[in-house]
Amino acid sequence: MRVREGKMAWQGFETYYRIVEPESAARDKASLVLLHGGPGSTHNYFELLDELAEASGRSIVMYDQLGCGLSWDDRMAGMPELWQAGTWLDELARLREDLGLAHVHLLGQSWGGMLAIMYLCDRKARGVESVILSSTLASASLWSAEGHRRLRYLSAQEQEAYARAEASGRFDDPEFRAAEARLMELFSAGEPDGDSPECLRRPKRSGREAYVCAWGDNELMPSGTLAGYEYAGRLDEVSCPALVISGTQDLCSPLVAKQLADGIADSRWELFANCRHMCFAEDRTRYLDLLCEWLAKRR
């Protein structure tokens, strides 16, 4: 396989992209475009899917969304108006145009899946052959409710720290941050260690500004520009085939995933046992096999 990197000039900034190409790609196969989470998580973890290019015979396109990683610019620090859905929707449309991606498959993980749903419903995007919705959501309110339900897995002291922070709106309490870290360890991911793949250990510029402004201070209490994200009643507008992927210990609880699968007419749901929010990292072999099977049946 070959890896090609570049930057796309856009709105006075630059969007970094990375394309993994198989040695012999079929011209008629649509590329797979990967939409990372966050907002602000960067493309890095998607490098775990590099071998999918050779296995599927198609190009894999990943990029750092504006506001994080290699698409960060210090001038953005004073521009909170950037961190709304329209910015990232326009960026995705421009990237497809710039790279000549007339036909694509989309894979959105976490926030990236929200972006894919908005792109299909609000922008009526053309040329999307299928969408893979990985550990994502259709409703911010259900995501919050399920997150709060799972607080029962924390200690009484940790639950109290969450309650105090939510009541006061102050999230700088060390006890709250410790409780938050424990919840993320249980349902999102642990900290990379020396045995973790390099792409997970690599230093990166996370988009904390984008995350706080767009979503909020923490996962359970959306308060930013995406707080009103409610697409459960519009999932029938997703007209392409959809593969829903989630883990049993995922922030995307089985109820959240079921809402997606039930709402999209042409959908399939695959539940990964014992996986948290990054199924592609915690059961990589099954994840890659599933994507190969899904893509093999399509353009």
* Helix/strand/coil percentages in the chain, nearest 5: 45, 20, 35
Task: Name the catalytic one among 41, 56, 59, 110.
Answer: 110
Task: Name the catalytic one among 71, 139, 217, 250.
Answer: 250
Q: What element of type H or E holds 270?
A: strand 267-272
Distance of CA 73 to the CA centre of its chain: 21
SS3 141: helix
- List Cβ<8 Å contacts ≥24 apart for 48-51: 48/197, 48/199, 48/200, 48/280, 48/281, 48/284, 49/280, 49/287, 49/288, 49/291, 50/1, 50/3, 50/20, 51/1, 51/288
Known active-site residue 74: no
Does residue 54 contact residue 39 with C-beta atoms inside 8 Å?
no
Known active-site residue 250: yes
Interior angle at CA 52, CA 46 and CA 53, nearest 5 = 105
Residues in contact with 96: Cβ distance below 8 Å, sequence separation at least 6, in sequence order:
33, 102, 104, 127
Known active-site residue 148: no
- The span from the CA of 145 to the CA of 162, in Å, is 14
Q: Which residues are catalytic?
A: 110, 250, 277
